[in-house]
Chain A
Amino acid sequence: MSGDSADVTSQSDVARTAARESDAPTLLGKGVENSPLEHGRAYLQRLRGGEMGALPAIGGLLVLFVIFHFANDLFTTPRNMANLITQAAPLVVLGMALVFVLLLGEIDLSAGVTFGVAMAVFVKYTQPDGLSWPVALLLSLGIGFTIGFVIGFFVARIGVPSFVVTLGLFLGLQGVILMIIGAGGTYRLIPEPIKAIQNSNLAPWEGWALLALVLAILVGVAMWDRVRRSRAGAPNPSIWIPMVKLIAIAAVGVAFVLFLNIDRGGVNRAIQGVPIVVPFVLAIGMVGTYVLDRTRFGRYMYAIGGNREAARRSGVNVTLIKWSAFVICSSLAVVAGLLFVSRVGSADASTGREIVLSGVAAAVVGGVSLFGGRGRLMHAAVGALVIATIENGLGLLGFSAGATLAVSGGVLILAATVDALARRRSGAVT
């Protein structure tokens, strides 16, 4: 029976290969020896082949910005943009946290309530007669670590589906939050440094310094790559390819800092500068991206997501990597919770209950595959910005929370449909 299907594939394979190989060059391409123009063309081909990455989400974000700009005078003001950033930040970090498990084809439905528990503890024990905030912070990070460890144990070690384990925790941890906080209770966030993350800004010069630092890191890494490649005797792509990318990032960065350095305060007090949360999120994103792109751990995560059995046969410790992915996800979720509480200013029994599905939606809208093996942290960040922009923009226009939810849901389905259509047309595998 399997022989029949094998025959069918081999037939189409022959046809395809014949077509492909007749016009293939007889040299072993490294994919880097061409001109920038040809690289551009290859990129377009990849896009047409369904590897669109974050592009649809970036396009969507631009469209949303244009629509809201014309629909409401307040939308593109410095004040609202700063507001949008702090609104989006917890979702961005939560989305990035979820990427680590989504890449493996797993899911963590409890990420939101995990930060709920951790923040309930943090806020409760940093009341005036409580612990010092660094101790409480370590405690709540420990809670995140432990929850991730427990999920990892059940999923990676025992083999229970992550959907079920984390659904169970989603329900159970809500109970734990209730027990910590007490029904109907609310604790105010006291520690000033934690409040500052989402409520204070960098001085204007610090914003520029941050931009310079980020650009320096990007240029440094790009140069380092080139040096190492040529040392190994591998050809380098044209210098223009990283240059164009860097110039684009620099341009966006300059506009960003310039805009946020405009005084957006009232008559009495000047408020200006890049929100402090921005360097936080950038640091998490850059470190995480480094780990995913350039270390064995990251590569094996993609490998497991792509073909678990192949990874195992190649000597990858699948259990260990899965386990760590859940630990990373839950620990990063606590950071997302910190940003959330910093912005809201309090924690109650419902903290984190609703945000988790928005986090998954953010990742998927940004181009992360739920089937594993495909996606980057940047995708989740862009997706989170899309969702936050919808909430922000519709809120400004006076739409109800209900309308916002409905539109966000529609965008999620739209994003998934665009992705599915692109992949189906190209015949690419998920």
Chain B
Amino acid sequence: MNQPIIELKSVTKSFGPVNVLKGIDFTAHEGRVTALVGDNGAGKSTLIKGLAGVQPYDGGEVLFEGEPVHLHHPRDASRHGIEVVYQDLALCDNLDIVQNMFLGREEMATGAFDEGRMEVEAAAALQSLNVRTVSSLRQKVASLSGGQRQTVAIARAVVKQARVVILDEPTAALGVAQTEQVLNLVRRLADNGVAVVIISHNLQDVFQVADDISVLYLGSMTARLRREDTNADDVVGYITGTKSMEAMA
């Protein structure tokens, strides 16, 4: 496999006396979907928050395209093209699709919004994800379904030309049809050359969409697997701690 776009080397994080991350190694590759699985409290969110620059790691090394980088602020992550799609979506209901997609990075021309350009780029971003179910780019996000909102949140990352997109439980609140839709979206995102990291509790989703599977157990990375080399029973074993990768190490 070629050089990972993101490589974490034995990163640690503790809150007071609690070691949440005990020296984690992790990689994400362009064009591949890496699933991050683990039980509640395993440290998934903490790992992600470090990458997003929201909660910097205490120790260890973060390599971006082989170069060491420091992610101490969301801006740092943004600058490297790392975008997080949060579980609660972080969209503004009272703004329309285009306004949400460009929130915080609006296109300006002579001191005022360049709405036309934003609209065209928003449409292009949605098209690149093969989204066809939006009747108007100017409808308020409040009027969208859960799946559509997830779509907008993901398309936001595309508009920002993200190179690494981290999705926190993107299907947790969705029904069957919409989950399917969002997983397709995730696949297309990776096919467009983006490195996708997806956190999920749903192994069915994981096996449907992921190329690589990393399992966290109580702050340690217990397994890093390729999907085709493993199965759901094994992964459950790693998640619950009844199985470990010592043998392989």
Q: Which residues of A come within 8 Å of B, CB atoms?
A: 6, 9-11, 13-14, 16-18, 20-21, 24-32, 49, 51, 225, 228-234, 290, 294-296, 299, 302-303, 305-307, 309-311, 313-316, 373-374, 428-429
Q: Given A28-B137, A29-B136, A31-B137, is A315 in contact with B78 using a C-beta cutoff of 8 Å? A: yes
Q: Which residue of B lies closest to A9 (CB)?
A: B173
| 22 A-B pairs whose Cβ atoms sit less than 8 Å apart in the complex | A10-B174, A11-B175, A13-B146, A21-B133, A24-B135, A29-B137, A31-B135, A32-B138, A225-B115, A228-B109, A296-B106, A296-B108, A303-B103, A305-B94, A306-B95, A311-B92, A314-B90, A314-B103, A314-B105, A315-B104, A373-B92, A373-B93
B74 touches A313 (CB 8 A): yes
Interface hit among B120-128, B187-195, B218-226: B120-128
Q: Which residue of A lies closest to B106 (CB)?
A: A296
Nearest CB of chain B from residue A241's CB, rounded to whole Å: 13
Nearest CB of chain B from residue A323's CB, rounded to whole Å: 18
A9 touches B146 (CB 8 A): yes
Nearest CB of chain B from residue A239's CB, rounded to whole Å: 16
A323 to B33, CA, bound (A): 42
Chain A binding surface, main DSSP class: helix
Q: Given A17-B148, A314-B103, is A232 in contact with B138 using a C-beta cutoff of 8 Å? A: no
Q: Which of B145-175 contact A (CB under 8 A)?
A: 145-148, 172-175
Q: Which residues of B come within 8 Å of A, CB atoms?
A: 74-75, 78, 86, 88-95, 99, 103-106, 108-109, 111-117, 119-120, 123, 126-127, 131-140, 142-143, 145-148, 172-178
Q: Given A28-B131, A302-B92, A429-B93, is A294 in contact with B113 using a C-beta cutoff of 8 Å? A: yes
Question: Which residues of chain A are near B103, meaning CB under 8 Å?
Answer: 299, 303, 310-311, 314, 316
A10 touches B173 (CB 8 A): yes
Question: Which residues of chain A are near B88, meaning CB under 8 Å?
Answer: 309
The 4 closest A-B pairs by CB, nearest first: A14-B175, A31-B136, A232-B116, A314-B104
Question: Which residues of chain B are near A310, meaning CB under 8 Å?
Answer: 89-92, 103
Partner of A27, one of B75, B78, B132: B132
Question: Which residues of chain B are near A374, meaning CB under 8 Å?
Answer: 94
Partner of A28, one of B117, B132, B172: B132
A428 to B143, CA, bound (A): 7
Question: Which residues of chain B are near A306, meaning CB under 8 Å?
Answer: 92-95
Number of A-B contacts (CB under 8 A): 147
Nearest CB of chain A from residue B179's CB, rounded to whole Å: 9
Partner of A307, one of B93, B109, B173, B176: B93
Question: Which residues of chain A are near B74, meaning CB under 8 Å?
Answer: 313, 315
Question: Which residues of chain A are near B146, meaning CB under 8 Å?
Answer: 9-10, 13, 17
Question: Which residues of chain A are near B142, meaning CB under 8 Å?
Answer: 428-429
A429 to B140, CA, bound (A): 11
Question: Which residues of chain A are near B78, meaning CB under 8 Å?
Answer: 315
A229 touches B93 (CB 8 A): no
Question: Which residues of chain A are near B177, meaning CB under 8 Å?
Answer: 14, 17-18
Question: Which residues of chain B are near A28, meaning CB under 8 Å?
Answer: 123, 126-127, 131-132, 134, 137
A49 touches B143 (CB 8 A): yes
Question: Which residues of chain B are near A51, meaning CB under 8 Å?
Answer: 140
Partner of B120, one of A9, A27, A233, A313: A233
B138 touches A30 (CB 8 A): yes
B111 touches A295 (CB 8 A): yes
Question: Which residues of chain A are near B178, meaning CB under 8 Å?
Answer: 10, 13-14, 17
Question: Which residues of chain A are near B127, meaning CB under 8 Å?
Answer: 28
Q: Which residue of B lies closest to A12 (CB)?
A: B175
A16 to B148, CA, bound (A): 11
B92 touches A29 (CB 8 A): no
Nearest CB of chain A from residue B48's CB, rounded to whole Å: 13
A20 to B135, CA, bound (A): 10
